[in-house]
Amino acid sequence: MQATQPGGSQWPTLVDWFASHALGLAIFTPAAVACWTGEVFHLLHAGRRKRNGLLLLLVCIVTIGVFGQSRFHLLYCALPPIALLAFQADASAVLVGPLMCLAIAVWFTMHGSGPFWIEPYGSMQARIFALQLYLVAALAIALPISVAQAQRNRLIARLRDGERRYQVLAENATDIVMSVGLDGRIIYVSPRIIPVLGYAPEDLIGVRYSELVLPDDCDAIVTAFESLTAAKAEVSLDSRLRRPDGQARWIKTYLRLVVDPFSGKPEMLAVTVRDITERKTAEQRLADERTELQGLAFRDGLTGLFNRRHFDRELERVWRQHTHAESRNPVAAMMIDIDAFKSYNDHDGHQSGDECLRRVAQAIASAARRPTDIAARYGGEEFALILADTDQHGALIVAERIRAGIENLRIPHPACQTGIVTISVGVAAQRPGEDGDGSALVAAADKALYSAKQRGRNRACMVDTDVVSHIAG
What are the tens digits of pLDDT across the range 380-426? 899 999 999 899 999 999 999 999 999 999 999 887 778 899 999 99
Alpha carbon 33 to its chain centroid, in Å, reads 53
H/E stretch holding 363 reads helix 350-367
Instruction: Answer whether 330's CB lies under 8 Å from 390's CB.
Output: yes
Where do runs of H (alpha helix) occur along 261-339?
A: 277-298, 308-324
Query: How far is residue 279's CA from residue 232's CA, in Å, rounded to a whole number?
Result: 29
H/E stretch holding 62 reads helix 49-67
Nearest 5°: phi and psi at 338?
-75, 130
pLDDT at 472: 46
- Strand bridging mode 460-462 / 382-388: unpaired
CA torsion 261-265-267-273 (nearest 10°) is: 90
Instruction: Answer whether 193's CB lies under 8 Å from 199's CB.
Output: yes
Please, what is the angle between helix 49-67 and helix 91-110, to 10°?
20
pLDDT at 5: 47
Alpha carbon 115 to its chain centroid, in Å, reads 71
> Which residues are catalytically annotated?
381
DSSP 223-249: HHHHHHHHH--EEEEEEEEE-TTS-EE
Nearest 5°: phi and psi at 325?
-80, 150
Is 0.85 topped by the overall pTM? no
Closest C-alpha to 382, from 449, 456, 462? 449
pLDDT per residue of the chain (473 residues) written in tens, 0 to 9? 344 444 445 555 555 555 555 555 555 666 666 566 556 555 556 567 787 788 888 888 988 998 888 888 888 888 888 888 777 776 667 777 777 887 888 888 888 888 888 878 777 878 877 877 777 777 777 777 777 777 777 777 777 776 677 666 656 667 888 888 888 899 988 888 888 888 888 889 999 888 888 888 888 888 888 877 666 667 888 999 888 888 888 989 888 888 877 777 888 888 888 888 888 888 888 887 777 776 667 888 899 899 998 899 899 988 888 887 766 789 999 999 999 888 888 887 888 889 999 999 999 998 888 888 999 999 889 999 999 989 999 999 999 999 999 999 999 988 777 889 999 999 999 888 755 678 889 999 999 999 999 998 999 999 865 555 555 44
Instruction: Answer whether 219's CB lies under 8 Å from 245's CB.
Output: no
Please, what is the angle between helix 79-88 and helix 124-172, to 10°?
20
pLDDT at 4: 43
Kindly list the structural domains of the chain, giving each domain's residue range(s) and its CATH number in brackets, ordered by start: 12-158 (no CATH), 174-280 (3.30.450.20), 299-472 (3.30.70.270)
Closest C-alpha to 69, from 36, 28, 12, 108? 108
Instruction: Answer whether 339's CB lies under 8 Å from 383's CB.
Output: no
Three-class secondary structure of residue 331 per DSSP = strand
pLDDT at 39: 60
Nearest 5°: phi and psi at 308?
-65, -35
pLDDT at 419: 87
The string of pLDDT tens digits covering residues 82-107 is 888 777 776 667 777 777 887 888 88
- Strand bridging mode 460-462 / 423-430: parallel
